[in-house]
């Protein structure tokens, strides 16, 4: 893409009203626009990141048999009434014209909606198991929306729901989802700890979270860097021992340390609670009527983008992991030269390139390239002659390459 055509611009200054690095960097770089506290619009650069993350998630969900759907976002109140969740404090309720009382809410989660849908199609054990997922906007009236995209009032979530004849089958699938989640986060460049946690709103004893270590995180975990197991401080018996000096990992015996962290994913065994509320039953092999056992699995898609920024930035801007970067390379033409041919060649080879063809000073181009944070920067100027000066965002050294070498580097991996 030509940067001269990009309708957003990198701001000269950080936004005044943001503290969290993810919000400061994403807003300044023109990745997102803040509409209200905790409410963001995704602009071209930010949306490209979200699409990259979503594609990785889709591939891994499809690989474990997930079937993609898109459920309604406007829910009649009978759904949450059925499970006594209508009065959960984060639920946004909707009053439509002429009404005094709300009769709908906007989606904060979809266990009820999918349980009712499943009831239509599940009759016998032969209809089980299956799993369905979506990537959709969720709305939650979070009391404190101060961590930028880490805690939105409107945010993007991938939610997967699975349906089983018994608990054993559900737990088998739960393990597969955990493996798929590990792959998702790894592919997005994030190291996650598989964390024992409480049930949140769902009053289930054991759930698991995927936590990324970061200072701005709202959670505290006891994390093992050897096997990546962790326990959330809220539920951990390890915390009773205090400090971080002598705690041993209950899984592998290595040293455990206390860290602030961001929950990027959460998986829940649901049991039959939702099946009971929506009369979701099936006939087993012997002809007995039973409730379907469900699991529910979430990834914060927009939170994941923000977590990546928290982990991958320096004083000059973002440094995107290559798999989720909006473009692979930032091509800069400095001074009185054009890199149009190079740009066309890159495009021909399907290399994702942002070409800064604007008529602005070299200094400005270089500073903005660091802010946007693409994995590679390629400079063409009067000094580079027929060559290209290539630099990785995360390294200081620059390499002068001829065009063939450069093309090869760009088309690899
Ligand atoms: P948290 O503990 O952070 O409040 P939660 O446990 O209520 O989150 P879930 O209902 O399990 O969240 O949602 C699944 C995933 O969606 C979470 O793991 C998180 O990554 C993301 N998520 C939850 N709430 C928000 C939010 N307000 N803004 C952005 N992402 C969120
Ligand atoms: Mg949670």
The answer on pLDDT for 241 being more than 80 is no
What pLDDT score was predicted for residue 1? Answer: 98
The verdict on the CB of residue 18 being under 6 Å from ligand 1 is no
What pLDDT score was predicted for residue 145? Answer: 76
Ligand 1 center to 77 CA (angstroms): 22
Question: Residues 6 or more apart from 61 whose CB is under 8 A from it?
Answer: 68, 133, 158, 160, 180
The answer on pLDDT for 96 being more than 70 is yes
CB within 5 A of ion ligand 2: which residues?
A: 200, 266
Q: Is the peptide bond before 214 cis (omega within 30 degrees of 0)?
A: no
**Which residue's alpha carbon is nearest to atom 3 within ligand 1?**
263
The answer on pLDDT for 203 being more than 70 is no
**Which residue's alpha carbon is nearest to atom 23 within ligand 1?**
300
Report phi then psi at 51, rounded to 5: -65, -35
What pLDDT score was predicted for residue 246? Answer: 79
The helix or strand, by DSSP H or E, that contains position 340, with its residue range, turns out to be helix 340-348
The verdict on the CB of residue 265 being under 6 Å from ligand 1 is yes
The alpha carbon dihedral of 157, 162, 167, 173 has a sign of negative
Residues linked to residue 131 through DSSP beta bridges, in sequence order: 66, 162
What pLDDT score was predicted for residue 14? Answer: 97
The answer on pLDDT for 127 being more than 80 is yes
Average predicted confidence (pLDDT) for the chain: 95
Q: Which of 328, 369, 321, 370 is nearest to 53 (CA)?
A: 321
Mean pLDDT of 147-172: 97
The verdict on the CB of residue 270 being under 6 Å from ligand 1 is no
The answer on pLDDT for 298 being more than 70 is yes
Ligand 2 center to 266 CA (angstroms): 6
What pLDDT score was predicted for residue 270? Answer: 94
**Which residue's alpha carbon is nearest to atom 29 within ligand 1?**
151
Ligand 1 center to 299 CA (angstroms): 8
The verdict on the CB of residue 217 being under 6 Å from ligand 1 is no
The verdict on the CB of residue 300 being under 6 Å from ligand 1 is yes
Ligand 2 center to 112 CA (angstroms): 18
Mean pLDDT of 149-176: 97
Please tell me the pTM assigned to this model: 0.97
How many angstroms from the chain centroid is the CA of residue 372?
A: 19
The verdict on the CB of residue 148 being under 6 Å from ligand 1 is no
The verdict on the CB of residue 298 being under 6 Å from ligand 1 is yes
b (16+ CB within 10 A) / e for 222-257: bbbbeebbbbbbebbebbeeeeeeebebeeeeeebe
The verdict on the CB of residue 138 being under 6 Å from ligand 1 is no
Ligand nearest to the CA of 151: 1
What pLDDT score was predicted for residue 205? Answer: 64
What pLDDT score was predicted for residue 244? Answer: 54
Q: Which domains does the chain have, with CATH numbers?
A: 8-314 (3.30.930.10), 327-412 (3.40.50.800)
The alpha-helical segments, DSSP class H, found in 164-251 are 167-187
Ligand nearest to the CA of 211: 1
The answer on pLDDT for 202 being more than 70 is no
The answer on pLDDT for 271 being more than 70 is yes
The alpha carbon dihedral of 399, 403, 405, 408 has a sign of positive
**Which residue's alpha carbon is nearest to atom 31 within ligand 1?**
300
- The structure tokens listed for 405 are 């070498």
The verdict on the CB of residue 303 being under 6 Å from ligand 1 is yes
The helix or strand, by DSSP H or E, that contains position 55, with its residue range, turns out to be helix 44-63
Atom number of ligand 1 nearest to Cα 218: 3
**Which residue's alpha carbon is nearest to atom 18 within ligand 1?**
265
What pLDDT score was predicted for residue 267? Answer: 97
**Which residue's alpha carbon is nearest to atom 8 within ligand 1?**
263
Distance (Å, whole) CA 41 – CA 35: 7
Atom number of ligand 1 nearest to Cα 145: 27
Ligand nearest to the CA of 148: 1
Mean pLDDT of 74-95: 97
The verdict on the CB of residue 165 being under 6 Å from ligand 1 is no
Cα dihedral 13→17→21→27 (10° resolution)? -60
The per-residue pLDDT for range 276-297, each reduced to its tens digit, is: 999 999 999 999 999 999 999 9
Ligand 1 center to 412 CA (angstroms): 36
Distance (Å, whole) CA 343 – CA 340: 5
Mean pLDDT of 77-97: 96
The verdict on the CB of residue 118 being under 6 Å from ligand 1 is no
The per-residue pLDDT for range 345-390, each reduced to its tens digit, is: 999 999 999 999 999 999 999 999 999 999 999 999 999 989 999 9
Distance (Å, whole) CA 108 – CA 155: 10
Ligand nearest to the CA of 147: 1
Mean pLDDT of 32-57: 98
What pLDDT score was predicted for residue 240? Answer: 64
The verdict on the CB of residue 140 being under 6 Å from ligand 1 is yes
The answer on pLDDT for 239 being more than 80 is no
The per-residue pLDDT for range 7-31, each reduced to its tens digit, is: 999 999 999 989 999 999 999 999 9
């Amino acid at each position: 893409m030509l940067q001269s055509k990009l309708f957003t611009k990198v701001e000269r200054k950080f936004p005044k009203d943001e503290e969290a690095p993810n919000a400061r960097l994403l807003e300044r770089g023109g990745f997102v626009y803040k509409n209200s506290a905790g409410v963001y619009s995704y602009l071209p650069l930010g949306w490209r990141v979200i699409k990259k993350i979503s594609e990785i998630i889709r591939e891994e969900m499809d690989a474990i048999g997930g079937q993609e759907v898109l459920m309604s976002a406007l829910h009649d109140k009978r759904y949450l009434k059925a499970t006594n969740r209508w009065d959960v404090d984060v639920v946004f309720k909707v009053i439509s014209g002429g009404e005094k009382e709300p009769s709908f809410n906007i989606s904060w989660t979809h266990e009820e909606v999918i349980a009712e849908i499943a009831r239509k199609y599940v009759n016998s054990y032969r209809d089980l198991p299956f799993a369905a997922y979506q990537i959709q906007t969720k709305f939650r009236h979070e009391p404190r929306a101060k961590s930028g995209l880490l805690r939105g009032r409107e945010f993007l979530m991938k939610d997967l729901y699975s349906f089983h004849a018994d608990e054993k089958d559900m737990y088998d699938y739960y393990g597969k989802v955990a493996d798929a989640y590990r792959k998702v986060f790894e592919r997005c460049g994030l190291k996650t700890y598989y964390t024992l946690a409480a049930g949140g709103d769902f009053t289930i004893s054991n759930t698991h979270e995927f936590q990324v270590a970061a200072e701005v995180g709202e959670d505290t975990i006891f994390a093992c860097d050897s096997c990546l197991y962790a326990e959330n401080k809220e539920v951990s018996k390890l915390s009773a021992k205090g400090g971080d000096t002598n705690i041993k990992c209950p899984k592998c015996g290595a040293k455990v340390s206390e860290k602030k962290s961001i929950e990027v994913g959460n998986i829940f065994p649901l049991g039959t609670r939702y099946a009971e509320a929506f009369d979701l039953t099936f006939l087993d092999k012997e002809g007995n009527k039973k409730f379907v056992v469900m699991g529910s699995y979430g990834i914060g898609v927009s939170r994941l983008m923000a977590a990546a920024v928290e982990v991958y930035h320096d004083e000059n801007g973002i440094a995107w992991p290559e798999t989720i970067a909006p473009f692979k390379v930032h091509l800069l033409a400095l001074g009185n030269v054009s890199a149009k041919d190079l740009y066309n060649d890159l495009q021909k080879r399907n290399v994702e390139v942002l070409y800064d063809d604007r008529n602005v000073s070299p200094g400005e181009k270089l500073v903005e390239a660091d802010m946007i944070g693409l994995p590679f920067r390629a400079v063409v100027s009067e000094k580079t002659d027929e060559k290209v000066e290539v630099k990785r965002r995360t390294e200081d050294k620059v390499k002068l390459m001829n065009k063939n070498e450069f093309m090869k580097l760009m088309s690899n991996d």
